[in-house]
Amino acid sequence: MSATTFGHKGVEAVQNKDYEAAVQWLDKALDSSNSPAWLLARAQAHQQLKNYDAALHDAELAYHSAAERGSGNSRKQMIDAQYRRSVLYQKLGRFADADCCAKWSMLLAEGRPAREDDGIEKKVDEKGNYTVSYEDGISDNKGQPGLNNDGSKMDTISGLMGGGSGGTAKTGFENEWKRAYAWRSQVLGFLKNLPEDDPGRKINVTKIPVKPQKKVEKKPEPVPVSARDSVDAQPAEAKAPAPGSVPDEQLKLRVDFYQSNQSVTVTLFVKDVKKEDLTVRFSKNQVQISPLPRAAAPYVKAGDREAASTFLLGGEIDPSKSRWSATPRKVELVLQKATPGVKWATWGKEEIGSATTEDDSSTTPAVTTTQAPPQPAAAALAPEPSTTPSTAGPAYPTSSRSGPKNWEKLGDAEVGDDDDKSDVNLFFKQLYKGATPEQQRAMMKSFIESNGTALSTDWSDVGNRKVEMVPPEGVEPKKWES
């Protein structure tokens, strides 16, 4: 097969979400060509497989390859490369770097010069912390292509003449601009909740990435005939990859969570889990679960390190009141907050294996709890009134991988007077208006199918599945009576 055939098969595999096959096809295609389109496709595949360093390598190489080619698609590919860098830096916890790359993607979509010194990465304080706020990101929309200064759509004539009333002419990359703009709100939302000394607030990125070298895989040396025969003579099970051969990042589970004033509900997506075999141990700052099957490492056994996970929590819990439930496709943890009313910035993080922390001290014994009773399915939710006062707004449920947001608090950045600050719908309208058509489809599908309990902008996540209803803790589902 030719490199073009390999490339087409790789891109098609990415579209079909067969990411492992996609990497194999694109590896072959990129042996003879540094096509930006193929590099971007492989970057997406590596990202989905949680090979973040490899994905970042491909995104940065795609940027340089597109710039050097200077073809008709080069600018779009450079826009996509900066956006992909932003997503990957967010995955790596480098939120300040992620926002810079998202802004650079927007500037390219506006038609600005690629090497323009815009100074975004220089917006730091005396401690070196990034100073761009969530409110700054939301208001940073004056350069949106195809709009007049008043926010109205630009007509064709004024667009061709360069804007007329001072707006920005259409560039053909309006959707790419909206995508990066909407993504910035998520990145900056996470950034503002980071501790002041968190390294995610530091800038370590440059607008023009350092050009990475094309990876050259070392070919294995030929095996002598006698040795090859002895290997072939071994039984099939002896050739199976040993546990520990898969990086921990690839073993980690996909996680979703939401919270109320009283609890945090964490959903761990894992296939073929057997609840009768699970052992779940709650401590005040962590939860340990084993054995967990691993899709990335099918040869893991119950006693192996890789079969266990320790979930280091984003806050303290009451182990005696926390509980869990399991189905063949997921494990759900209902974590009772030790201090009701305190909002967690994030649910925490997963570590492979049974970690030992201060939480395991003799003064705080771990508690093995029983399974939670199954939640009844329904089409409407009736909230249970909270008895715990809190000045913070509620953290509404979400299917976003970047975690829940305090929508009431975020909405304050987009209204002009105190009377309108309670209108949370204004933020949803702004988010929907600024989203791409694909993101809008994802928002509508997830919101409707979950009966208003989940909202996602990731079509690749919700497009081919039914979004399940995820009622918050303390909320009773009820069927709608017509």
Same-domain check for residues 336 and 438: no
- Model confidence, pTM: 0.47
Let me know if residue 25 belongs to a domain: no
Residue found under tokens 């995104």: 59
Q: Which among 343, 374, 405 is the end of a domain?
A: 374
CATH number at residue 277: 2.60.40.790
Q: Tell me which residue of 133, 224, 109 sits closest to 187, measured CA to CA.
A: 133
- Closest residue by Cα to residue 385 from 298, 308, 476: 476
pLDDT of residue 414: 39
Q: What is the pLDDT of residue 413?
A: 41
User: Is residue 278 over pLDDT 80?
Assistant: yes
- pLDDT, tens digit, 9 for 90 and up, residues 319-353: 999 999 998 888 999 999 999 988 898 899 999 88
Residues 265 and 190 in one domain: no
Q: Which has more confidence, 119 or 221?
A: 119
- Its domain, for residue 324, covers 246-374
pLDDT at residue 303, rounded to an integer? 78
What total number of domains does the chain contain? Answer: 3
Task: State which H helix or E strand residue 381 sits in.
Answer: strand 380-383
Query: Is the Cβ–Cβ distance between 163 and 169 less than 8 Å?
Result: yes
Mean pLDDT on 277-284: 92
Whether 15 is in a domain gets the answer no
Residues 39 and 125 in one domain: yes
Are residues 316 and 402 both part of a single domain?
Answer: no
Decide if 216 is inside a domain.
no
Rounded Cα–Cα distance for residues 256 and 404 (Å): 9
Residue 359, judged by CB atoms within 10 A of its CB (0-12, 13-18, 19+), counts as buried
User: What CATH number is associated with residue 171?
Assistant: 1.25.40
User: Which element (helix H / strand E) includes 191?
Assistant: helix 174-191
Among 21-35, 103-117, 384-398, the minimum mean pLDDT is found in 384-398
Q: Are residues 52 and 112 in the same domain?
A: yes
Name which of 32, 33, 38 is nearest 73 in CA terms. 38
Residue 93 makes CB contacts below 8 A (sequence gap 6+) with 199, 200
Domain membership flag for residue 317: yes
Residue 227 lies in a domain: no
Helix (H, G, I), strand (E, B) or coil at 327: strand
- Report the alpha-carbon angle 13-83-11, nearest 5: 15
336 and 407 both lie in a single domain: no
331 - beta bridge partners? 268, 326
Q: Is the pLDDT of residue 377 over 70?
A: no
| 398 and 478 part of one domain | yes
* CA angle, 450 then 456 then 457, to 5°: 145
User: Is residue 47 situated within a structural domain?
Assistant: yes
Cα gap 404→264, rounded to integer Å? 11
Mind listing the pLDDT tens digit for each residue in 53-102? 999 999 999 999 998 887 778 999 999 999 999 999 999 999 999 999 99
Tell me which residue of 350, 319, 349 sits closest to 335, measured CA to CA: 319
Same domain, 38 and 148: yes
Judge whether 280 lies within some domain. Answer: yes
Residue with the bigger pLDDT between 460 and 47: it is 47
The mean pLDDT value of the chain amounts to 77
Q: What is the pLDDT of residue 178?
A: 92
Same domain? For 413 and 458 the reply is yes
Of 201, 232, 260, the one marking the end of a domain is 201
- Residues 60, 174: one domain? yes
Q: Based on the fold, state whether residues 162 and 258 are members of the same structural domain.
A: no
Q: In what order do the strands lie in the sheet with 348-352?
A: 348-352, 309-313, 286-290, 279-282, 367-368
pLDDT at position 158, please?
Answer: 44
Closest CA to 314 of 196, 194, 474, 134: 194
Of the residues 201, 223, 258, which one is the last residue of a structural domain?
A: 201
For residue 238, tell me if it sits in a domain: no
Mean pLDDT for 168-182 is 88
User: What are the DSSP calls for 233-277, one per residue?
Assistant: TS-GGGGSPPTT-S-HHHHPPEEEEEE-SSEEEEEEE-TT--GGG
Mean pLDDT of 299-317: 87
Whether residues 407 and 480 fall in one domain: yes
Report how far residue 425's alpha carbon sits from residue 428's, in angstroms, rounded to the nearest whole number. Answer: 5
> Which candidate, 66, 96, 61, places its Cα nearest to that of 79?
66
The average pLDDT across 309-318 equals 93
The answer on pLDDT for 229 being more than 50 is: no
Which pLDDT band holds residue 152 (cuts at 50, 70, 90)?
low
